[in-house]
Structure 1
Amino acid sequence: MLTIKQITENTDAVIRGLEKKHFKNAKETIDQVIAFNDKRRSTQSVLDNNLSEVNSISKSVGQLMKEGKKEEAEVAKSRVAELKETNKTLQAEMDQATEDMQNLLYTIPNVPYDEVPEGVGAEDNVVEKMGGMETELPKDALPHWELTKKYDLIDFDLGVKITGAGFPVYKGKGAQLQRALINFFLDEARKSGYLEIMPPTVVNAASGYGTGQLPDKEGQMYHCEVDDLYLIPTAEVPVTNIYRDVILEEKQLPIKNCAYTQCFRREAGSYGKDVRGLNRLHEFSKVELVRIDKPEHSKQSHKEMLDHVEGLLQKLELPYRILRLCGGDMSFTAALCFDFEVYSEAQKRWLEVSSVSNFDTYQANRLKCRYRSGEKKTELCHTLNGSALALPRIVAALLENNQTPEGIRIPKALVPYTGFEMID
């Protein structure tokens, strides 16, 4: 969440940033935060003065009794009792102001960087780069949901029987392709210096608040109500929360973690042709990158993550483009975000496969994730994360773009992982 210092010292800039994200009532909300903070501070000041007076009077009572000034001592005792009652009220008021301010801060999104373009939605995102190989498909090219049926790779109907729509069953070479991609992505991350983590796939509410999924996205997460636990929508949540309430040493940074997990998303409101097949699932596999870094190095870390994801798409020989997201299309928590999309030649559309985000101090402030600098002062870290990569749409693009009359060709980089060159 935003820090009070950020809000009070750069109020106008914060409001402009929130307006760029199309956050409703930005000025009124920030004014309310400042009012709660002023209330908290003024109450704290009065409380501190009262406590000082209580200590001073309490010390004088004994001296008054020694001097035989019993009446004056009793007056002093009465004043101490009065102040203590007042302080109980002041403490309650201060605690309420603090709680109200904290709850309001949780509802305010991160402020985008200046380089984030203005815009309302996906149509306003800026194409930064395009790459990859042009694809020529047979005239009778099929979409992936037909290919998976033809080659018996994925059974969507069986998934409906077992669980429901959006929970496919991978079979034979379809399952092998999934496992091959996971291992390929993890190996590439390891070569780039990432430490592999195998985290839980359910988290508590504190973890959801730590990375910003709560209270913003509770309707999109599967909630185990009896235990008050949530199925993770991304490995970002458990991996980043490793560093909740942690003070790191400067020499430990940047921290680079990667994790493969199953991910679960309700995707409430999704329907139509764009969710067919693997385009939008409720359960899917993903390899995630997470970095914890110093503020002055986080932009370099972000660039390195972008280069890593682009390298994966190049090795998979897929046509891709990189988008700089506009303010209106960014996530609640991101300060800067780039999306990677691959082109589906059979569907004639772009499919998002990764978002690589810099959260600045927004998540770290929620997490209380800090580092100790050379001056022994503690400062908030910057957190970053990105998919490297999410599998469903990668699989869709690989199947569709590599179909031939003889079968589906496997990119050379994946052959050592699949053990086969063709699906036929």
Structure 2
Amino acid sequence: MKATGPATAIAVAGELDRVMRSDRGRLLAVLASSLRDLSLAEEALQEAAVSALTHWGRSGLPKSPQGWLLQVARRKAIDRLRKASRDNRKAETLALLAAEEAAPEPDAIPDERLRLIFACCHPALDMKSRVALTLRSVCGLTTREIAGAFLDAEPTMGQRLSRAKAKIAAAGIPFAVPDAELWPARLDAVLTTAYLIFTTGYVAGPDEPRDLCLEGEFLVRLIDRLRPEDAEIEGALAMMLLTAARRAARIGADGASLPPAEQDRSLWDSERIEEGRAILARAVAKRQPGPFQIKAAIADCQMAEPAPDWPQIAALYGALLRHEPTPVVRLNWAVALAEAGEATRGLEIVEELGDALSGYQPWHAARAALLAMNGDATGAASAYDEAIEAAATPAEELFLRRRRDALLRPAG
């Protein structure tokens, strides 16, 4: 963009909004990598944005709005560091910033977002803080939007974000891509965070102001672009695409949720399915199996023609258990076994998980379904009542009520 003469306030505000929406994460990542302080980076960038409203209106839009914001943010950070109490770490940061600030205004901004993602998703932070901080810093959601997604009050979420940023600074968590020996474990934390963002959006209603399902997909596409040819990243992206392809069909016309076997396949997104399957095939060809590739394969088998391939799904959950030997994976394995024809064995496994999962709503729903498969209508109806009581959404509650009512309906 060429520099121009004085610009109208509307034009300046529009351009600033566009730049901050598209490049805020990239600018923040560059600043945070130098400052090693996410809060300071955010404050400096925000001050630069405020300055832009005045400066661009008076002098015209700069050749590179992103480069202008980065340089001014560095100057704002230098001013803050000079006013703060001095210590060796701040002195080192100040020297580095001064050298960067003295360099010519950059036309191109390096993409350091992978560093920012790994800092936000560090295992030292609890999962909810990782998700919130990633949404704020990398995806650019506002505190109010994040609070709404978690059904939290905005001040509560603001405090969580502040504590997470303070912990990163106090613990010296690096804004860096991990070394080779730490990469697999840290990558799993990053992909798990992205997956939780995706699933939060997937189960949310259509009226949410920001689509977290798409934010999770955006995040994994970004990671894939910054770190190409990694089989597990490809697996995570394939899983999201294949799952999201069914999104338009997951709620029936009456408002009840529908499992894949009962969905209207004409509503599935064929382009997403095609892309997801191609990415999954590319990942599997690398012969580096991992849990996200297995989950993607499960999502693919749920869309097999003419119905879900339950024997293959059960086998895949058995393989997933070797990577993630958790009660939840074991529960899904039990359901798949039952659907594949081993209803008695599936119910036995579900009952064994009672101590671990009695507070987990899907356990009650699965137990109800498997009791029904085994002919215990009375026990199944009681289990459905418990699942209905704890249902997370009206759509899920309606689905479960229908299953329960069908059990209690007189034959014929």
Q: TM-score, normalised by structure 1?
A: 0.27
Rg: which structure is higher?
1
More helix by share: 2
Q: TM-score, normalised by structure 2?
A: 0.27
Higher relative contact order (CA 8 A, sep 6+): 1
